[in-house]
A and B are shown apart, each in its own frame.
Chain A
Amino acid sequence: MPISTKIIDEIEKLPIKREEQELMKDLLSLEDGHGYKINKAYTDDIESYLKNHLNDEEGL
């Protein structure tokens, strides 16, 4: 089920980069059982999603 607007608002209030805010939202969705497509591969694993995030960051 969708992440509540209260949580989204609180995350967006945090003084962090937008990418990190999006990461926090994505991780919550993953924890809630939603899968994501990472580099064309579908994952519902937080750890690989995090590694992917770090790789993306490094790439930037």
Chain B
Amino acid sequence: MGIFIDHVEFENYRQYGTGKLSFNKKNKKMLYAVIAKNGTGKTTLLNAITWCLYNKEYQIDDKSKALPLINTAVFQKANHNDEITVSVKLLIVDDDEKKNIEFTRIQTFKIVKTHAGNKKAISNDNNFIVTFTGEHENTEPQYNSDAQPWVKQYFDEDIRNFYFFDGEQLKEFFGESKSKAIKDSIYNIAQITLLEKCIKRIKDIRKDLAKEIAKDYPSLSSIEEEINKKKERIEFEKGVLRDCENELAELVPKREAIESELKHYEPIKALKVKQAEYLGRLNKLDDEATKFKKDKADFVRRYVVLLNMYPSIKKTYDLIVEKEKKGELPPDIDKDLVLRLLEKEEATCPICNGKINENARSHLKALLNKITVSSITANELSRTKGPLEACLEETGKFEEKLTIFNKRENELERDIKHEKDLLQEVNAKLLTYGNASETFDVAAKERESQNLQSQINQLYIRQGGAGTRYRDFVEDLAALNKKWKDAFSKQKGLETKKREINLLDDLENHYSLVMNNIINEILQEISFTTQRIFDEMIWKKNTFGKVSINGDYEVEVHNKNNVLMTASLSATEKMALAYAFTLAVHRASGKNCPLVIDSPLGRVSDENRGNMARSLLEISTITTKQLIMLFTPDEYSEEVKVVYDNKVNVQELKLSMDETHVEGV
């Protein structure tokens, strides 16, 4: 028992043209494998269904750049002023309710001539019709806004991913925004929303009745006033909570989208960090090389003079040394002083102050004769020897200093080359990302994400405060209601009113009890089913522990040691979790609706494909759930064929030779 897509009927719709694709039950096989090459109409089938139900083709990224809905061949044959109807009809069989539901969307177009003389299709009317036929009833068709609630009941648009699942879009499956949509949708499908509305209605009636009673009874009137004030506060806090929830529903996915974008750019980000690091080091080395060149130039300039002068300096120095050796450079003797001493009769020695006798006089005379070079020249030569010696010593250091300079020069050249090579390597890698590496500003996106995170944190704080106040006020209100009721029951008479109030209070309590029981039951059922299906699908039996789902319908997976590991799941494991959760949501909705999956095993690695394919077949058979899977020939690999051969309905779609329509419909 369950709900099945019996067929999809097309009229002039895209490449399907006019025809019918049947999925009616054959030999109790509940699983359909539609195999089509990319571009043949696999995704267009999903688009046809969502267009029929929601008037949107979700798998078309940019509608402005897409072809019109009209089949190309039909459009080409059409003349100006022709009217063309495009429609998609979806026949659903509800075995539980014993009825057939036909969802039909019809769009008419008028063909007009453009200024350039080309043909253009202008959309006219768009109508949506739901018709029921069954064993016991044939209802009047319902149109547009009257027809739409039935879509919500069977294929709620807010959780369309749970009916029309795209295996390639797994990352969009889990997340806060999705969990809110799931919760809202489950509440709608399970009629929790109806219970909430009914409870509110009863509260309003009771409020009016209490107000009417309070008019004549002042003691009740003051309590009533307090109750109303408390209710206002509660409504205010509820408003704050709702605002926070709405803002979070907007900001969280926005941040998630940026983070996911940043994740995609993570390699670029890492490469850009390296690029900046290498550039920094290269600039530093370039500065050092410039300074080094100046130092080396100064060094060379200084030594050019020294080296040029070296032969002369060496010759002069050697000459002085030679003369010193020969004794041709006497000690510092003042010839004039010696002459003055010899001129005086009784002169005294300027050193020892002794009298200069004849012997000394003869010695002085011999000395005078011996000195051939003047004492001034001798002094000059002796003074020159020191600086010459220093020059020679400095020149001797040239080789050593030059070696040091050359060594540093080689080191710098090597370092610069190394950094340039690294930079070139990183630039080459960045080039493989094309323009994206230039146009995507990672830093700006990170700032935006941080900014959003800080807004989100503020909202969580605000939400926490409002939640606490809300709970306190609800407690206060319960106490006030009790106080009112006690005071009311003490009033004499008013028997009818008392019965009315009691009945309304009972109804409110009973509906609340029913509602809470159903909410808990659904959550438990979803948790249990998700866990069971996930365990069946996963072939690692010693890794995963509990799969938990909280009151906000957020799914988490723990390992055997109860450590959270949702973020560490592989693509295949995420796929299994998504299938498990989807099937659990279907089950909890109370309607065993079909599931259409595009690329069902696209993200599953080769060795796991067979296992996953087998699990889906078993689930479909055991739960009598219709699964329509849209495969590419590659995806429908040998591992899948082995599992599905003769056990599933296989249908191949091919494009016609002129590529205007799909063959096989």
Contacts and interface: CB of A to CB of B under 8 A. Distances in A.
A32 B194 contact: yes
Contact of B197 (A7, A10, A31, A54): A31
A38 interface: no
B174 interface: no
A57 B496 CA distance: 11
B510 A16 contact: yes
A54 B198 contact: no
A20 B506 contact: yes
B514 A10 contact: yes
A31 B590 contact: no
Contacts of B198: 27-28, 31
B507 interface: yes
B51 interface: no
A54 B500 contact: yes
A1 B614 CA distance: 37
B521 interface: yes
A54 B195 contact: no
B261 to A, nearest CB: 41
Interface in B242-292: none
Interface residues of A, number: 24
Contacts of A28: 191, 194-195, 198
A40 interface: no
Interface in B565-610: 590
A24 B197 contact: no
Interface string B15-26: 000000000000
A47 B191 contact: no
Interface in B506-548: 506-507, 510-511, 513-514, 517-518, 521
Contacts of A50: 205, 500, 503-504
Interface in A6-27: 6-7, 10-11, 14, 16, 20, 23-24, 27
Interface in B87-116: none
A53 B502 CA distance: 13
A11 B590 CA distance: 17
Contacts of A54: 496, 499-500, 503
Contacts of A11: 510, 514
Nearest to A46: B201
B503 A14 contact: no
B611 interface: no
A7 B491 CA distance: 37
Contact of A7 (B150, B195, B500): B195
B422 to A, nearest CB: 66
A39 interface: no
B514 A7 contact: yes
B648 to A, nearest CB: 31
B205 A47 contact: yes
Interface in A23-55: 23-24, 27-28, 31-32, 46-47, 50-51, 53-54
Please classify how large the interface on chain B is, using the bins under 10, 10 to 19, 20 to 34, 35 or more: 20 to 34
Interface in B188-218: 190-191, 194-195, 197-198, 201-202, 205
B496 A6 contact: no
B153 interface: yes
Nearest to B514: A10
Contact of B190 (A1, A4, A51, A57): A4
Contacts of B499: 54, 57
A10 B590 contact: no
A5 B510 CA distance: 17
Contacts of B521: 6
A37 B496 CA distance: 23
B191 A3 contact: yes
B514 A5 contact: no
A25 to B, nearest CB: 11
Contacts of B149: 1
Nearest to B496: A54
Given A4-B590, A28-B194, A31-B194, A14 B513 contact: yes
Which of A6, A11, A14, A28 lies at the interface centre, i.e. has the most chain B CB atoms within 10 A of its CB?
A: A6
A57 B495 CA distance: 13
Given A14-B513, A31-B197, A7 B518 contact: yes
Nearest to B517: A10
Contact of B510 (A4, A24, A53): A24
A52 B514 CA distance: 24
Interface of B: 149-150, 153, 190-191, 194-195, 197-198, 201-202, 205, 496, 499-500, 503-504, 506-507, 510-511, 513-514, 517-518, 521, 590
22 contacts: A1-B150, A1-B153, A3-B191, A4-B190, A6-B190, A6-B590, A7-B195, A7-B514, A10-B514, A10-B518, A14-B513, A14-B514, A16-B510, A24-B507, A27-B202, A28-B191, A28-B194, A28-B198, A32-B194, A47-B205, A54-B499, A54-B500
Interface of A: 1, 3-7, 10-11, 14, 16, 20, 23-24, 27-28, 31-32, 46-47, 50-51, 53-54, 57
Given A4-B191, A10-B513, A46-B202, 6 more contacts: A1-B149, A7-B514, A10-B514, A11-B510, A16-B510, A27-B507
Nearest 5 pairs of A and B residues by beta carbon: A10-B514, A31-B198, A4-B191, A10-B517, A31-B197
